[in-house]
Amino acid sequence: MSAVAKSTSALALHVHRFVPATGTGRPPLLLLHGTGGDETDLIGLGQAVSPGSALLSPRGNVLEGSAPRFFRRLAEGVLDQADVRRRAADFAAFIGAARETYGIAAPVALGFSNGANIAAALLQLHPGILAGAVLLRAMVPLDPPPPAEGLGGTPVLIVAGDADPIMPPGDPEKLAASLAAAGADVTLRRLPAGHGLTQADLALATAFLSRLS
């Protein structure tokens, strides 16, 4: 298979939207929705927190009933770790193809819930594929985590809700420690919030992304 054919095949792994950059100096964003979302869900959020950025927004290609996700889970809060690894490998190929097709740099992931979990798995399993990440309501995707290596200085913001009923106790701290052990520059912030996003989440994401410009 030719390089062009491989790229086209990998890009077809996810239905997606691409919004070209409208400014300069802002990193491209990889927008990763939560369970039941699609490729349109986080476009407005991406434009709000990083005006002018190119936006790459894929739809999860795993269905839970009729709800798109980025990987399977066995029950609420119980992730199918073998599927996480397989889908993360596919995602790494998709990102590489998208970069080639659309001419963008390595993106910064902006993920919510299930989308934040696949972004965390990408950081752990495929260091270098992302230039950074904003992980909103993420949980530990892989336990035990992969060997700690390869994330030297990669900026990561984790924002957790103190009243999040979905989050296993201690998961934000465990994820932060795992990514920091792999060399990432991790900031963990906790908010008086549940699983849903708040204006405080947007403010934290905006400030974090502005520092990457």
The phi-psi region of residue 76 (left if phi > 0; otherwise alpha if psi is between -120 and 50; otherwise beta) is: beta
Active site residue 41: no
Distance CA 88, CA 97 (A): 14
pTM score, whole prediction: 0.94
- Kindly write down the DSSP assignment for every residue of 14-39, as one continuous string: S-EEEE--SSSS---EEEE--TT--T
Mean pLDDT of the chain: 93
Instruction: Indicate whether 173 pLDDT > 70.
Output: yes
Interval 43-97: pLDDT, tens:
999 999 999 999 999 999 999 999 999 999 888 778 899 999 999 999 999 999 9
Confidence of residue 7 (pLDDT cuts 50, 70, 90): low
Distance CA 184, CA 178 (A): 9
pLDDT over 70 for what percent of the chain?
96
pLDDT over 90 for what percent of the chain?
85
The residue-averaged pLDDT of 153-177 equals 96
Q: Which domain holds residue 101?
A: 3-203
Task: Find the CATH number of the domain harbouring 49.
Answer: 3.40.50.1820
- Looking at residue 74, its pLDDT comes to 85
Instruction: Indicate whether 8 pLDDT > 70.
Output: no
Does residue 212 form part of some domain?
no
Among 11-15, 72-76, 154-158, 168-172, the range scoring the smallest mean pLDDT is 72-76
- Kindly write down the DSSP assignment for every residue of 56-102, as one continuous string: EEEPP-EEETTEEESS-EEETTEE-HHHHHHHHHHHHHHHHHHHHHH
How many structural domains is the chain composed of?
1
Instruction: Indicate whether 33 pLDDT > 70.
Output: yes
Q: Give the start-end residues of each E strand in 93-162.
A: 108-112, 132-136, 155-161
Confidence of residue 5 (pLDDT cuts 50, 70, 90): very low
CB-based contact 136:116 (threshold 8 Å): yes
What is the distance, to the nearest Å, from the Cα of residue 112 to the centroid of all Cα atoms in its chain? Answer: 7
Does residue 209 form part of some domain?
no
Active site residue 195: yes
Confidence of residue 146 (pLDDT cuts 50, 70, 90): confident
Q: Please, what is the angle between helix 81-102 and helix 114-125, to 10°?
A: 80
- Looking at residue 2, its pLDDT comes to 43
The residue-averaged pLDDT of 154-179 equals 96
Among 76-85, 108-117, 155-164, 193-202, the range scoring the smallest mean pLDDT is 76-85
Q: Of residues 41, 164, 171, 201, which has the active-site annotation?
A: 164
Q: Of residues 113, 126, 171, 178, which has the active-site annotation?
A: 113
Active site residue 53: no
